[in-house]
Amino acid sequence: MQKEYNDGPQKTTCSRRSMLKSFGAGVAGLSLANLIGAPIEEQIAYATQNVRRSSSPSQLRITDLRVAVVSRAPMRCPLIRIDTNQDICGYGEVRDGASEKYALILKSRLLGQNPCNVEKIFKRIKQFGHHGRQGGGVSGVEMALWDLAGKAYGVPVYQMLGGQYRDRVRLYADTPNGSIEGLKKRVGQGFTFLKMDCGISRIQNVPGALSYPSGDTNWWGKHPFTSIQLSDKGAALLAEHFAEAREAVGWKIPIASDHFGHISVNSCIKLGKALQPYQLAWLEDMVPWEYTDMLKEIKNAVDVPLLTGEDIYLLDGFKPLIDGHVVDLVHPDLATAGGIMETKKIGDYAEQAGIAMPMHFAGTPVSFMANVHCAAATENFIALEHHSVDVDWWEDLVTGIDKPLNKDGFATVPETPGLGIELNLDVVKEHLSRGQELFAPTDEWNRDRSNDRLWS
């Protein structure tokens, strides 16, 4: 694998690979008998020509961390590259819409570490993450560490998680604006699981549908504090749209709902009851996830599965929801939750409580493949979100894997080492965010030090 740096105009290639190529040219077509009396270098090259030289795992060390920020894939997505003292690097991704600095502050804690010690490093850096987008730096670094470990040992990431429950992963596709034609399009694309946006913005200007303070309405405030209420008329209008969706795609395909807007608990219950006839796969993020009592109140009042989790960091954040059976399904975003292993732990913990796990995702194919490996290794997995179905260059960001990545609503689990992909640098360059460079040097983050210890 060739690594490109921005330190100068030329590309640099690891000396080990150059050495092996020169030896290979010298021994090509020769037999062992031909090499008797040949220089010792040629005899060694011949005898070891089939040995993996990509790494010596025990001697692997992190030497650098750099970022490249891709725009509109579907959002602003910072990609991470972790370099080593050997001829391999690992790729990860910060949560869409988050700052790359969430990853860069970790660099000084990573330099000199063996990336194969994933859990050890994760325990060292996890204190620098938090709920929401702030979990993106730790999660992205963790992805890159697994990519490196898989490449070092020559195995796919799912194998290091305990093996696979499935060799292909079901995808569900978001349908922006709740378009019925969009749902039909997704069915035509082969998806067997759907989700639609159908929130209160659809009825905001309909007289009698909503009640809210005029003027400076806090549309994005926390749900209990906005004073936005849904009327019976408003609930009926939203339910009517789901009736149209069922008529369009039938009853066999699951249809989930995205979050509806920042409305009160009573309004959530009113809406949930109105939607009961349409057998939805779930109601998503009805109120903020930390209000467990409110979620439990909604769950107990309506006969539609309840789901939340895309903003929660670490298993510890999910435990109250799972232990209290507050929701019917958990919905972590791997790029927020803490990465690949932490998301699998969330799934395994939920499995013990009889709770299933679909997975939230919006990002590039790097994070997509991290999700695919985690989903393959987690028994109670349901479906993985795909938010970039209509981005025509999205799959071109990566190479080294069979395409299309979405095959009739499923992603094939790769058998190649690590995450199973490499970056297509030319395509990444084409879609860098304005003012961004491709994996520019980050030396200013090499010595960011503090007393990180959490105990005395």
pLDDT in tens, 400-426: 999 999 999 999 999 999 999 999 999
pLDDT reading at 24 higher than 80: no
Whether residue 74 has a cis bond before it, omega within 30° of 0 = yes
Confidence band for 48, pLDDT divided at 50, 70 and 90: very low
Mean pLDDT in residue range 340-350: 98
Mean pLDDT in residue range 174-200: 91
pLDDT reading at 43 higher than 60: no
Mean pLDDT in residue range 278-290: 97
More confident site: 54 or 256: 256
Question: What is the pLDDT, as a whole number, of residue 451?
Answer: 85
Secondary structure of the chain as H, E, C letters: CCECCCCCCCCECCHHHHHHHHHHHHHCCCCCHHHCCCCHHHHHHHHCCCCCCCCCHHHCCEEEEEEEEECCCCCCEEEEEEEECCCCEEEEECCCCCCCHHHHCCHHHHCCCCCCCHHHHHHHHHHHCCCHHHHHHHHHHHHHHHHHHHHHHCCEHHHHCCCCCCCEEEEEEEEHHHCHHHHHHHHHCCCCCEEECCCHHHHCCCCCCEECCCCCCCCCCCHHHCCCEECHHHHHHHHHHHHHHHHHHCCCCCEEECCCCCCCHHHHHHHHHHHHHHCCCCEECCCCCCCHHHHHHHHHHCCCCEEECCCCCHHHHHHHHHHCCCCCEECCEHHHHCCHHHHHHHHHHHHHCCCEEEEECCCCHHHHHHHHHHHHCCCCEEEEEECCCCCCCHHHHEECCCCCCCECCEEECCCCCECCCEECHHHHHHCECCCCCCCCCCHHHCCCCCCCCCCC
Question: What is the pLDDT, as a whole number, of residue 316?
Answer: 98
* DSSP β-bridge partners for residue 169: 411
Structure-token pair, residue 291: 């209000």
Topology at the third CATH level for domain 57-156+437-445: Enolase-like; domain 1 (3.30.390)
d(CA 394, CA 418): 20
More confident site: 175 or 407: 407
Mean pLDDT in residue range 199-205: 93
Which residue ranges make up each domain of the chain?
A: 1-45, 57-156+437-445, 160-420
d(CA 186, CA 292): 33
Region of poorest pLDDT, from 2-6, 139-143, 182-186, 242-246: 2-6
R_g over Cα of the chain: 25
Mean pLDDT in residue range 335-359: 98
Region of poorest pLDDT, from 1-5, 30-34, 202-206: 1-5
Mean pLDDT in residue range 103-117: 97
* Residues 383, 387, 391, 396, CA torsion sign: negative
Confidence band for 306, pLDDT divided at 50, 70 and 90: very high
Residues of the chain with pLDDT > 70, as a percent, come to 88
Question: What is the pLDDT, as a whole number, of residue 26?
Answer: 42
pLDDT reading at 20 higher than 50: no
d(CA 259, CA 307): 10
Question: What is the pLDDT, as a whole number, of residue 7?
Answer: 43
Confidence band for 21, pLDDT divided at 50, 70 and 90: very low
Say if residues 143 and 370 touch (Cβ distance below 8 Å).
yes
pLDDT reading at 51 higher than 50: no
More confident site: 28 or 140: 140
Domain 160-420: give its CATH code: 3.20.20.120
Neighbours of 320 (CB within 10 A): 13
Question: What is the pLDDT, as a whole number, of residue 178?
Answer: 78
Residues of the chain with pLDDT > 90, as a percent, come to 80
pLDDT reading at 28 higher than 50: no
pTM, two decimal places: 0.88
Confidence band for 35, pLDDT divided at 50, 70 and 90: low
pLDDT reading at 12 higher than 80: no
Question: What is the pLDDT, as a whole number, of residue 27?
Answer: 42
Amino acid at 242: F
Amino acid at 128: F
Structure-token pair, residue 295: 């979620």
Question: What is the pLDDT, as a whole number, of residue 456?
Answer: 85
Question: What is the pLDDT, as a whole number, of residue 428?
Answer: 97
pLDDT reading at 388 higher than 60: yes
- pLDDT tens for each residue of 150-172: 999 999 999 999 999 999 999 99
Structure-token pair, residue 319: 């435990």
d(CA 195, CA 176): 9
State the average pLDDT for the chain. 90
Structure-token pair, residue 123: 């325990």
Mean pLDDT in residue range 189-202: 94
d(CA 120, CA 116): 9
Say if residues 161 and 155 touch (Cβ distance below 8 Å).
no
Question: What is the pLDDT, as a whole number, of residue 55?
Answer: 63
- pLDDT tens for each residue of 236-257: 999 999 999 999 999 999 999 9
